[in-house]
Amino acid sequence: EKGGWPSFMDKEIHEDPEAVANTLLGRFDAKGDIVLDEVRIEPEVLRSIDRIVVVACGTASYAGLVARYAIEHWVRIPVEVELAHEFRYRDPILTPRTLVVAISQSGETMDTLMAIRHAREQGSRVLAICNTQGASIPRESDAVLYTHAGPEIAVASTKAFVAQIVAAYLLGLYFAQIKGTMFRDEIHHIVQQLRSMPEKIQWVLDTQADTVNRTATHMVNARSFLFLGRHVGYPVALEGALKLKEIAYTFTEGFAAGELKHGPIALVDAGEPVVVIVPSSRGRSTLHNKVVSGIEEVKARGAYTIVVAEEGDPDAERYADAVFWRPVCSTLLSPLVDVVPLQLFAMDMAMLKGYDVDKPRNLAKSVTVE
Ligand code: M6R
């Protein structure tokens, strides 16, 4: 079943490119416009939506956080992302014009299921982004957009995460198309870029795995890791931290790079590993400069810096002890490639420590109790 791979996790990480490609498949008409046939909510109703609330847990919630940056930018409506278990118990404000988007790989997560039941009772429409055909969450939703990542067996979610981002992006672009918040050409241009992502992810798998493995070997005894990122790099940092904690049992914390001086920098001591997601250096954007100054600050305090950066970024070379390169791509699409070395890194760390990467202790693949 593992098809020659040492673990399901290894196999599934190597299926990231396919998960992205398959989730895009069959979602366009001959003119290149987006057609989401499964989203059986009338266009007039979709046009009236004035707020999106994403409910999800764990990795799926980080896919929601990534999508928030893109959807708000493209559709100009507020997107909130809430952990399903928190949402359910705080009497959230929901109206018929709110679209609740439940993201779940298994479609059986009880916390997320309870959240959508609550949303529907309040009169909101629910759309599920799900990887499992016919599971409870899509069954109880008004509409569903399936991710086509294929069955995910390893407890640590990998290929489902990239597929969830793609599905949520398709939903955002579809909204932009029907609400007319973007030009057709702009949408087509982003779709073109999305189509090139499988190749870019493959490049990371083919060229960066050795560096990742060497870095994991070097850091195997580290007791804790900090992960930081800004903008879409922030949820990627949270996801990288979760992966390492889940399967390598290493204490990690992921946080927004801008928070560094508001507290977390106190943790940085000589030798402390800090993983930083660096935005594109093209045009030397403010975003890039701000994150680089964060690296400088932790470096000055003796941190061991592991950086995910765009090919050829001179600042990455200057301040990083190890670099995982990303091929050039637009900022909003960068999470699809940036998460890949972090998935590999967590897996390598767990393997080096002799742990079962597919079945980490204390965890179930789908959490069917509240
Ligand atoms: O099946 P779901 O996507 O609803 O699961 C949500 C979380 O339980 C899941 O993503 C969990 O955080 C994973 N173990 C992460 O690797």
Residue position matching structure tokens 């069959």:
26
Q: Say yes or no: CB of residue 193 within 6 Å of ligand 1.
A: no
pLDDT over 70, % of the chain: 99
- Closest C-alpha residue for ligand 1 atom 14: 156
Do the interacting molecules here have an ipTM over 0.90? yes
Using alpha carbons only, how large is the chain's radius of gyration in Å? 20
In terms of C-beta distances under 8 Å and separation of at least 24 residues, what long-range contacts does 363-369 make, across chains too? 363/155, 363/246, 364/155, 365/106, 365/152, 365/153, 365/155, 366/105, 366/106, 366/108, 366/109, 367/57, 367/109, 367/110, 367/111, 368/108, 368/109, 368/110, 369/110
Residue position matching structure tokens 């241009």:
189
Q: What is the reported pTM? A: 0.97
pLDDT at 249 over 70: yes
* pLDDT value, residue 90: 87
Task: Give me the chain's average pLDDT, please.
Answer: 94
Edge-to-edge order in the sheet of strand 125-130 = 79-83, 51-56, 98-104, 125-130, 143-146
pLDDT at 283 over 80: no
pLDDT at 264 over 90: no
* pLDDT value, residue 291: 92
Contact at 8 Å (CB) between 279 and 257? no
Q: Say yes or no: CB of residue 367 within 6 Å of ligand 1.
A: yes
Query: Which one of 244, 356, 366 would you pick to mutate in the ligand 1 pocket, going by the greatest count of ligand atoms within 8 A of its CB?
Result: 366
Catalytic residue list contains 365: yes
Q: Say yes or no: CB of residue 347 within 6 Å of ligand 1.
A: no
pLDDT in tens, 284-307: 678 899 999 999 999 999 999 999
Ligand 1 atom index nearest CA of 112: 4
Q: Distance between CA 231 and CA 213 in Å, rounded?
A: 27
Options 179, 353, 359, 365, the catalytic residue: 365
The 3-state DSSP class for residue 362 equals coil
pLDDT-based confidence at 91, cuts 50/70/90? confident
Q: Distance between CA 105 and CA 228 in Å, rounded?
A: 25
pLDDT in tens, 51-67: 999 999 999 999 999 99
Q: Say yes or no: CB of residue 52 within 6 Å of ligand 1.
A: no
